[in-house]
Amino acid sequence: MPKFVYDFTEGNKDLKDLLGGKGANLAEMTNLGLPVPPGFTITTEACRHYLAHGSLPDGLQDEVDAHLAALQEEMGKRLGQADDPLLVSVRSGAKFSMPGMMETVLNIGLNDESVEGLAAQAGDERFAWDSYRRLIQMFGKTVLDIEGDLFEDAIEAAKDARGTKDDAGLDAADLRGLVATFKGIVREHAGREFPADPREQMDLAIKAVFDSWNADRAILYRRQERIPVDLGTAVNVCSMVFGNLGEDSGTGVAFTRDPASGHQGVYGDYLQNAQGEDVVAGIRNTVPLPDLERIDKTSYDQLMEFMARLENHYRDMCDIEFTIERGKLWMLQTRVGKRTAAAAFRIACQLLDQDLIDADEAARRVTGDQLAQLMFPRFDTAEIEDVTLLTKGMNASPGAAVGKVVFTSERAKELAEQGEDVILVRRETNPDDLAGMVAAQGVLTSRGGKTSHAAVVARGMGKTCVCGAEELEVDVKAGRFTAPGGVVVGEGDVISIDGSSGEVYLGEVPVMDSPVVQYFEGELDPAGGDELVQAVHRVMAHADGAAALKVRANADNPDDAARARRFGAQGIGLCRTEHMFLGDRRQLVEKLILAETAEERQDALDALEPLQREDFTGIFAAMDGLPVTIRLIDPPLHEFLPDLTDLSVKVALAGADASDQDRRLLEAVRRLHEQNPMLGLRGVRLGLVIPGLFSMQVRAIAEAAADRRRAGGDPRPEIMIPLVGAVQELEAVREEAEGVLAEVAAETGVDVPALIGTMIELPRAALTAGQIAEAAEFFSFGTNDLTQTTWGFSRDDVEAAFFSRYLELGVFGVSPFETLDRDGVGRLVRIAAEEGRRTRPGIKLGICGEHGGDPDSVHFCHEVGLDYVSCSPFRVPVARLEAGRAAI
Ligand code: PEP
Ligand code: MG
């Protein structure tokens, strides 16, 4: 039969599965010789049995009896002993911390007799009756399921009767009266007496803690945090110590280092004459921990020694809860402490320097999310209280931006050219707003989710964006938006937007720059003294050395490419050529679409070709010697044409005076209109339907590569075909492209090899990857579209439409557009990778959807054995770090 109960002296910190985090760490401290109040832990296995069968496992009660007897022996008193009772707490403690989600009952062992004994022993009647009423209150609520407010109301009534506002204003007699009232509440609402038998109190409390594993809030928390449902909780039965026995008692929390900065020192808070719950409730002000030296030097010195011991032992920063009972220090809890992003990097390197951990472990101790946090400019929180919070939207692209409100792209450009900082506010953005987005410090939209155009483009540019701020009514024509409460904000008014929290403020909040970005930009020497920058530099160097995955960037202009390279990108994984067709060049695309003859079409293509060549030349130069994957045009053509409604209105209003050009345009817009454009004429389908379009792009690539080669450069083009679903599509385009490449080689006398490959972004492509690999030299997983088509979720609409409900219900803990869905989309990726490799061993495999910069997804890509991930330039350092961590 398994062992269900472990004395604190029997466990250790590695038994978290069995003893939960709290129990394992209490055991560890006990074995280190620290003063932990004696007790024992009932295992998660017992909980699992209880939850599965509705009864305690055979043998558990005998084990509890034996451990309780040993505990009573050790303490020299018995549970419920009339003249000097042993009191215990019964606390939950699962493997993963689930703060406040499960139950705890304190002061078990009190009844009408033993309360007198406690009063006599403590020499404090009020304390004893207060402890007793706390027991009945907690027990009533958690074990007997009585509405907590009934007890609270009774306390309020007692305070009113006494004429006090404070719990402390109630004396022993008042509390004795409350105990009677509470017992009445139990009788009335639970239909039974409060159990006077301490052992019954304990047994019922243990079951209640087990049951609380399945409390609604706990279930929801686990879904959201992706904690497995079947772990169960352990139960810790621990002898009580009291911090509320007078001025020589107290309770506190301590950190072995500053959790904000990582610096070593004495950090924490202490509250004299109080219990832990009083600290949480904030009833009285705590004093800083260093003051304890003045209050109780012996305990303080001991605590310092214990903290140093714990940190050396855990080889990490720890947080601690302690209580001093009449001058005796007790350690009640410890665990590896939570910390800020900056502290995580600093602490990892400090511990490395102290030889407590090695470089692999230092890299494990930080995360890509923490690095990302360090890269964004932030609002100075000290100043935030002076401004008005207007609303909260979705935190679409992190950072902090301040500027004058503008409502159009043109105005954004105008003001930016005059040196003004602006925030572009739109209902939603479209490709036309790109110039305005580039000019603005940040973007705010009232519609659209985290994969809306505004969000994706802003993230790509590393630009702050708050989207889907639905409370705002944006009136572009009138040049103003209205916030809740009727606050009207007009063009030129200054707002501040926080892309990390989604908050929007009226007025200017001061922004602090990130030294970490200055370092990645090469503007800050890591040896220059900034401890944080040094730490980031050291961890990154180690991660780069360990990584198996390469990291590329999604970039479609030379500036972004150059920045990505400074940030450590090893090439470009996705150059979206359609981004090169915007702005003034839209006219040319319009001509192409409107062309009625082959000649007109060729003229339009001929005009576009040199412009494309120029773009590619710049990008090849910025990425000299590194691969550049250029994706041929992808989105449906109507995206380059005016809006159907706007144009219809314009033509209708002009009547007979409407220009011929506008009429033809309207006809084309109607002709190209699709109900489901994302599933329509886009990607490879466009290339097969519009003669010459792909050839023009391939020619531009080949000529640009030849130019670079002649100029002494080392261009490495890779030509990528989007939205392929069948090998036949790819074969047709491939033949055309190879023809053009051969032509250009003959014309220029320079033969620059170019790989030809495809994106895998449709389930059919993934499932027939073995065939597709016959015609593809590389695959790049377009997981934005692959997620969209696998789930059948429109990437432009769903987040605003129903994702918040899905997240609430725990259908998923995080949007599958943010973190790759391993079970569904991931399975397709695995199949395609395996079957692609089977057909073409050595086929290059990468990912270029938004997931390429997401930590969890990077680990998945490492596990599948992809060659690289590609992400927005700003995310490159995050992906590098995670690629390294995945390999360690
Ligand atoms: C994708 O679908 O994942 C992708 C990278 O292409 P786009 O986002 O341009 O559709
Ligand atoms: Mg795509």
Residue 130 has pLDDT above 90, yes or no: yes
- Which pLDDT does position 171 carry in this prediction? 95
CB neighbours of residue 216 within 10 Å: 8
Which tokens in the block code for residue 671? 């002709």
What is the spatial distance between Cα 389 and Cα 59, in angstroms, rounded to a whole number?
59
Atom of ligand 1 nearest to the CA of 782: 3
- The values of phi and psi at residue 89, to 5°, are -105, 150
- Which pLDDT does position 451 carry in this prediction? 59
Is 640 within 8 Å of 583 (Cβ atoms)?
Answer: no
> 562: alpha, beta or left, given left = phi > 0 and alpha = psi -120 to 50?
alpha
What's the 609 CA to ligand 1 centre distance in angstroms? 23
What's the 784 CA to ligand 2 centre distance in angstroms? 6
Atom of ligand 1 nearest to the CA of 784: 3
Residue ranges of the chain assigned to CATH 3.50.30.10: 377-513
Spatial CA neighbour of 49 closest among 58, 40, 61, 41: 58
Query: Strand locations in 208-317, DSSP E?
Result: 233-239, 250-257, 264-272, 287-288
Best substitution site from 450, 556, 575, 576 to test ligand 1's pocket, by max atoms within 8 Å of Cβ?
Answer: 576
Best substitution site from 785, 820, 829 to test ligand 1's pocket, by max atoms within 8 Å of Cβ?
Answer: 785
Specify the residue with its C-alpha closest to ligand 1, atom 10.
785
Top-level CATH class of 5-239?
A: alpha beta
Which tokens in the block code for residue 491? 């063009």
What is the spatial distance between Cα 716 and Cα 620, in angstroms, rounded to a whole number?
7
Atom of ligand 1 nearest to the CA of 783: 3
> What CATH number does the domain located at 250-339 have?
3.30.470.20
Atom of ligand 1 nearest to the CA of 785: 2
- Which pLDDT does position 801 carry in this prediction? 75
What's the 552 CA to ligand 1 centre distance in angstroms? 15
Q: What is the length of the chain? A: 888
Residue 348 has pLDDT above 90, yes or no: yes
Angle at 568 between CA 560 and CA 497, to 5 degrees: 55
Mean per-residue pLDDT of the chain: 92
What is the spatial distance between Cα 417 and Cα 411, in angstroms, rounded to a whole number?
10
**The domain over range 377-513 is classified in CATH as 3.50.30.10:** yes
DSSP labels, 204-234: HHHHHHHHGGG-HHHHHHHHHHT--TT--EE
Atom of ligand 1 nearest to the CA of 456: 8
What is the spatial distance between Cα 21 and Cα 48, in angstroms, rounded to a whole number?
16
Residue 737 has pLDDT above 90, yes or no: yes
Spatial CA neighbour of 874 closest among 521, 534, 535, 543: 521
Residue 861 has pLDDT above 70, yes or no: yes
- The values of phi and psi at residue 332, to 5°, are -100, -20
What's the 782 CA to ligand 1 centre distance in angstroms? 5
Instruction: Please tell me which residue in 49, 67, 453, 537 is annotated as part of the active site.
Output: 453
Specify the residue with its C-alpha closest to ligand 1, atom 1.
782
- Which pLDDT does position 771 carry in this prediction? 98
CA separation, residue 625 to residues 572, 621, 744 (Å): 11, 9, 21
CB neighbours of residue 60 within 10 Å: 22
Q: Please name the residues in contact with 599: beta carbons below 8 A apart, sequence gap of 6 or more.
A: none
Specify the residue with its C-alpha closest to ligand 1, atom 3.
782
Best substitution site from 848, 866, 871 to test ligand 1's pocket, by max atoms within 8 Å of Cβ?
Answer: 848
- Which pLDDT does position 429 carry in this prediction? 82
Residue 50 has pLDDT above 80, yes or no: yes
Ligand nearest to the CA of 578: 1
Q: In which element (H, E) is residue 90 found?
A: strand 88-94
Q: What is the pLDDT of residues 447-478, one digit of tens each?
A: 877 657 787 778 767 789 999 899 999 999 99
What is the spatial distance between Cα 343 and Cα 535, in angstroms, rounded to a whole number?
10
What's the 589 CA to ligand 2 centre distance in angstroms? 20
DSSP 583: G
What's the 475 CA to ligand 2 centre distance in angstroms? 32
Angle at 564 between CA 538 and CA 744, to 5 degrees: 140
Angle at 373 between CA 859 and CA 854, to 5 degrees: 25
Q: What is the pLDDT of residues 200-229, one digit of tens each?
A: 999 999 999 999 999 887 887 787 667 888
Atom of ligand 1 nearest to the CA of 849: 3
Alpha helices in 580-692 (DSSP H): 586-594, 598-622, 644-654, 660-672, 684-689
Q: Which stretch of 54-68, 190-204, 418-432 has the lowest confidence by average pLDDT?
A: 418-432
The β-bridge relationship of strands 400-406 and 422-426 is parallel
Ligand nearest to the CA of 631: 1
The string over 242-251, giving b where at least 16 C-beta atoms fall within 10 Å of a residue's C-beta and e elsewhere, is bbbbbeebbb
Q: Which residue has the tokens 């007799």?
A: 113
Average pLDDT for 108-112: 97
What is the spatial distance between Cα 527 and Cα 674, in angstroms, rounded to a whole number?
57
Ligand nearest to the CA of 857: 1
Best substitution site from 578, 581, 783, 784 to test ligand 1's pocket, by max atoms within 8 Å of Cβ?
Answer: 784
Cα of 448 vs its chain's centroid, Å: 20
Spatial CA neighbour of 451 closest among 483, 471, 429: 429
Q: What is the pLDDT of residues 595-604, one digit of tens each?
A: 889 999 999 9
State what percent of residues in the chain have pLDDT above 70: 98
DSSP 381: G
Alpha helices in 98-256 (DSSP H): 114-122, 125-142, 148-162, 172-190, 198-211, 216-225
Q: What is the pLDDT of residues 663-709, one digit of tens each?
A: 988 998 898 889 898 899 999 999 999 989 999 999 999 999 999 99
- Which pLDDT does position 683 carry in this prediction? 96
Give the model's confidence band at 586: pLDDT under 50 very low, under 70 low, under 90 confident, else very high: confident
What is the spatial distance between Cα 267 and Cα 596, in angstroms, rounded to a whole number?
76
Residue 282 has pLDDT above 60, yes or no: no
What is the spatial distance between Cα 260 and Cα 702, in angstroms, rounded to a whole number?
53
CB neighbours of residue 660 within 10 Å: 7
- Which pLDDT does position 215 carry in this prediction? 86
Ligand nearest to the CA of 629: 1
Which tokens in the block code for residue 887? 């390999």
Residue 307 has pLDDT above 90, yes or no: yes
By the 10 Å C-beta count (0-12 exposed, 13-18 middle, 19+ buried), 222 is classed as: buried
What is the spatial distance between Cα 19 and Cα 5, in angstroms, rounded to a whole number?
9
Q: Which stretch of 144-148, 164-168, 188-192, 674-678 has the lowest confidence by average pLDDT?
A: 164-168
Measured on CA atoms in the order 881, 883, 886, 888, is the torsion positive or negative?
negative
Is 442 within 8 Å of 511 (Cβ atoms)?
Answer: no
DSSP 86: B
Atom of ligand 1 nearest to the CA of 851: 3
The beta-carbon contacts of 428-432 under 8 Å, at least 24 apart in sequence, are: 428/452, 428/453, 428/454, 428/467, 429/453, 429/454, 429/457, 430/639, 431/579, 431/582, 431/639, 431/640, 432/582
Atom of ligand 1 nearest to the CA of 780: 5
Which of 1.10.1040.10, 3.30.1370.160, 3.20.20.60, 1.20.1530.20 is the CATH number of 547-577+616-635+683-887?
3.20.20.60
Ligand nearest to the CA of 554: 1
- Which pLDDT does position 281 carry in this prediction? 54
Q: What is the pLDDT of residues 574-585, one digit of tens each?
A: 999 998 888 788
- Which pLDDT does position 806 carry in this prediction? 84
What's the 815 CA to ligand 2 centre distance in angstroms? 17
Q: In which element (H, E) is residue 262 found?
A: none
Specify the residue with its C-alpha closest to ligand 1, atom 4.
782
Half-sphere exposure of 610 (CA within 13 A, CB side): 3
| 848 is a catalytic site residue | yes
Is 30 within 8 Å of 71 (Cβ atoms)?
Answer: no
Spatial CA neighbour of 438 closest among 409, 467, 418: 409
Pocket of ligand 1 (CB under 6 A): 574, 576, 634, 761, 782-785, 848-849
Average pLDDT for 375-383: 83
Give the model's confidence band at 188: pLDDT under 50 very low, under 70 low, under 90 confident, else very high: very high
Ligand nearest to the CA of 456: 1
What's the 811 CA to ligand 1 centre distance in angstroms? 24
DSSP 814: S
Measured on CA atoms in the order 253, 257, 262, 265, is the torsion positive or negative?
positive
Is 516 within 8 Å of 374 (Cβ atoms)?
Answer: yes
Give the model's confidence band at 47: pLDDT under 50 very low, under 70 low, under 90 confident, else very high: very high
What's the 795 CA to ligand 1 centre distance in angstroms? 10
Specify the residue with its C-alpha closest to ligand 1, atom 6.
782
Instruction: Please tell me which residue in 349, 575, 848, 861 is annotated as part of the active site.
Output: 848
> 246: alpha, beta or left, given left = phi > 0 and alpha = psi -120 to 50?
left
Helix (H, G, I), strand (E, B) or coil at 75: helix
What's the 415 CA to ligand 2 centre distance in angstroms? 34
CA separation, residue 113 to residues 116, 174, 245, 720 (Å): 6, 18, 20, 82
Residue ranges of the chain assigned to CATH 3.30.470.20: 250-339
- Which pLDDT does position 83 carry in this prediction? 94
Q: Please name the residues in contact with 171: beta carbons below 8 A apart, sequence gap of 6 or more.
A: 126, 162
Is 391 within 8 Å of 471 (Cβ atoms)?
Answer: yes
Best substitution site from 459, 582, 633, 761 to test ligand 1's pocket, by max atoms within 8 Å of Cβ?
Answer: 761
Helix (H, G, I), strand (E, B) or coil at 659: coil
Q: Please name the residues in contact with 459: beta carbons below 8 A apart, sequence gap of 6 or more.
A: 396, 397, 465, 850, 872, 874, 875
Spatial CA neighbour of 7 closest among 32, 26, 33: 26
The β-bridge relationship of strands 868-871 and 550-554 is parallel
What is the spatial distance between Cα 33 and Cα 62, in angstroms, rounded to a whole number?
28
Specify the residue with its C-alpha closest to ligand 1, atom 9.
576
Residue ranges of the chain assigned to CATH 3.20.20.60: 547-577+616-635+683-887
Q: What is the pLDDT of residues 794-815, one digit of tens each?
A: 988 887 678 878 877 778 878 8
For helices 531-546 and 876-887, angle between their N-to-C axes, nearest 10 degrees? 60
